[in-house]
Amino acid sequence: MKLAVITDSSAFLQAETLRKEDLFVLDIPVNIDGQEYVEGVNLTAQEFYEKMARSSELPKTSQPSIAKLDEILSSLKEKGYTHVLGLFLSSGISGFHQNIQYMTDEFESLTIAFPDTRITSAPLGFMVESVFQWSEQGDDFQSILDKLTEQIENTSAFIMVDDLDHLVKGGRLSNGAAILGNLLSIKPILYFNDQGVIEVYEKVRTEKKATKRLVEIVKEATANGNYQITVIHGNAPQKVADLRQLLLDGGVATDISIATFGSVIGTHLGEGSIALGYTPIV
């Protein structure tokens, strides 16, 4: 088996993974004031937040290119690949997953699977890295899919944002919920539900209480297993350092990584957002 892994640029990937020749990444462009950018090509995460702060309008994101995916799949046979695994952002926040399902049967020489990850960002990146690990240790394709299913079913992320308006404008939260939250100084804790949709999990008064509650939720969710836990932030280094320390002090884990929300997710969550993502180590 020669396995190609395809993902999109919403995934937070380690530099070592990005260098793998069997990895293919579909760009998700972001449009700011009429100018199109691709993070890592002509835009850094820091530059994105600076440009978004200066813009009078919320940046716009589009889906990954189906044409580019077709181009990659068409090229894989001559490169000797036999199997393809596509791991893309949740179907609950993008129509891309649904739109590409027909392609799994379009390439007779390739065995292709596009499971719904129901997540994005660092947990999605960890799934990609896990697939490479399983492949390199000799697991067959079905075994990799089985382990991946276990990861997907037990992965989630809990999120706290500074400004609910980003989620409303991006169509990820109702305007009524945002108005209520802003009026009452409520910090809603959001999460990816079982369908990969962002919903309100709890409403908590004040950011300090909400941050403490985030830690409690993730500690309970990961108590009975071995998990990769990541603190993710939208240009909020002090918040993420404080949250990481709370996790360490609370005995949630001894090894907690830090990741950033890039332009794709940052557009919808806004600057100052923080999240806790967890994925089982299978």
CATH number at residue 176: 3.30.1180.10
The reported pTM is 0.92
Handedness of CA 280, 209, 52, 245 (dihedral sign): negative
Nearest 5 degrees, angle CA 250-CA 253-CA 259?
105
Domain count, the chain: 2
pLDDT at position 40, please?
A: 77
**Predicted confidence (pLDDT) per residue in 23-68, tens digit:** 999 999 999 999 999 887 888 888 999 998 898 888 888 899 999 9
Nearest-angstrom CA–CA distance, 264 and 37 = 10
Among residues 154, 174, 194, which one ends one of the domains? 154
Nearest-angstrom CA–CA distance, 52 and 212 = 29
The one-letter amino acid at 222: T
Mean pLDDT of the chain: 90
Among residues 154, 186, 209, which one ends one of the domains? 154
For 228, the domain range is: 156-280
Instruction: For residue 232, report the phi and psi dihedrals to the nearest 5 degrees.
Output: -120, 140
Q: Are residues 196 and 219 in the same domain?
A: yes
The tokens describing 2, both together, are 């020669």
